[in-house]
Amino acid sequence: MNQNKSYFFQSWLIVVIAIASFIGFKSFLPKKLFPDSTANSKNVVVDSLMLEAVAESGNLSEEDTLTNKTISFVSNPLGIKFSSEKFEQYKGYQYLIPFFEKLYQLEVNKKGKARIAYFGDSMTDGDMIVQDVRTQFQSIFGGEGVGFVNITSESAGSRGSIIHEFSPNWKAQSYLKTKSPLRSFGVNGSVFFAKDTANPTWVKYKAGRNRFSTSLNTPTLFYGSSKNKKGSLRQIFGKDTVYKKLNTNSMLNTTQVAGDVKNVKVNFINADSIPFYGFNFDNGKGIHVDNFSSRGNSGLPLGSLNVDLMNAFQQKLGYDLIILQFGTNVLNYGSLNYSWYERKMTSVVNHVKECFPGAAILIITTADKATKYDMQMKSDSAVSPLVMAQKRYAVKSEAGLVNLYTLMGGDGSMVKWVENVPAKANKDYTHFNHRGAKEIAQLIYKQIDTGYQEYKKLRALAKKKAKPKAVVSDTVPVINDTLNE
């Protein structure tokens, strides 16, 4: 019994000494005691280009010439010019004017159509955020359909805007992991090949329940060129089996497989060596938003898109706005100096402009992210400098900007979103849940709409200044018809 008491007091003595030691050495310990939470680690992989860029960056830095600068804009051909902006409040609406004009024609004159390519990382996985942005636009400007969808997708199971299934015998190559693909990547950053085996190769889509997406509008397959002229598609409609030959002569080809339907299943026959990209679903009018999310994407892989093939996609799909929402996977890799990322993404944005001529570019910064410091969850120290780098490359590449970090509340906001009742973000303190994603979409749409409303006022003012004036002469009067539809 005495021996047990001795062990008991020895154990307590060890605990007391350990606590005293921790308190004594606490001031010497690093503030960041734990690595970032990996509760959702399956969504946070990193593309190979990002890792290479970090390894090459070293101590690269460049002088900051923008922080205290006022950005002035040059008026566009219609004479429309937004007011100058200080760097701190930069939004760059001036560079979104071509897109705003498309919205104007849709809203006021009920003419034309518009399309958005929304590139992102795991923040938009499963159509999160994007599906609500799409709904916001389509509720005002018209349009039906979920847009472009991959042949296969790692997030198919978590996407509710469309039900997506596929056979396991597809070979997929992504610009996140493959430097030298068998064929050029599609607009979605992927290319797919049907591996003909004893089992059939197929894809199946079913309309989801989201507003404006309750039907699969004119399902159309996009695929590339090939020497294989025997490929075909097989579909079963009731008791009938229909075959459609694949025309692989052009760099980019399309085949419509049905009209508006609730679900569609397509079998690929003798289709080996043909590069497939995905199916497009839209009703051909209003506005459409394609979600090109890739887990682990830093944004840098967009620089590997083939310009000629992207020009072909632009010819067929006609993008008016390219949204780039990245940053989640760029945080916490070495120093807090993101000049290397700023420089490389400036180049990427200019490459994207070359890929999709005529399209405006909108940069969405990283959201807030929380990390444990001194036993407390706080905004990660890397967030603010990364946002500054993203803002700088938006200015340098003449793109619009949505500062998502500021919109959601700035410093400490992710902790509030996680601890909110009900919660609006996951316990990894990085990703939003469905409730939060919907609110983020509303914030993004509201800023775009604010710029659009201001554009309409500036347009009306420019039109008023250019009011037609009759010229007195002995001939037929000459009318100045600038800005008149």
Give residue-wise pLDDT tens across range 131-151. Answer: 999 999 999 999 999 999 999
Q: Which residues of the chain have pLDDT under 50?
A: 25-45, 473-482
pLDDT at position 273 is 93
Using CA atoms, how far apart are residues 80 and 338, in angstroms rounded to an integer? Answer: 34
- pTM for this entry: 0.86
**Cα-only R_g, the chain:** 27
pLDDT at position 55 is 61
- Burial of 467-477, coded b for 16+ CB within 10 Å and e otherwise, reads eeeeeeeeeee
Q: Which CATH architecture has domain 150-283?
A: Sandwich (2.60)
Q: Where are the beta strands (DSSP E) in 282-326?
A: 286-293, 321-325
Using CA atoms, how far apart are residues 115 and 117, in angstroms rounded to an integer? Answer: 7
pLDDT at position 66 is 75
pLDDT at position 195 is 86
**In whole angstroms, how far apart are CA 134 and each of 92, 213, 294, 401, 471?**
22, 10, 18, 18, 47
Which CATH class name applies to 29-143+286-485? alpha beta
Please report, for the chain, how many H helices and E strands are present, in that order. 10, 20
Using CA atoms, how far apart are residues 437 and 115, in angstroms rounded to an integer? Answer: 21
For tokens 């916490």, name the residue.
332
Give residue 278's identity as a one-letter amino acid code. Answer: G
Token pair, residue 117, equals 């390519």
Token pair, residue 200, equals 């059939």
pLDDT at position 464 is 87
For tokens 């692989």, name the residue.
248
pLDDT at position 479 is 35
Q: Where in the chain is the domain with CATH 3.40.50.1110?
A: 29-143+286-485
pLDDT at position 252 is 98
**In whole angstroms, how far apart are CA 451 and each of 96, 149, 244, 400, 405?**
8, 29, 46, 10, 19
Q: Where in the chain is the domain with CATH 2.60.120?
A: 150-283
Using CA atoms, how far apart are residues 291 and 120, in angstroms rounded to an integer? Answer: 8
Contact assessment for residue 331 and residue 386, using Cβ atoms and an 8 Å cutoff:
yes
What residues are paired with 173 via a beta bridge? Answer: 191
Token pair, residue 298, equals 């830093």
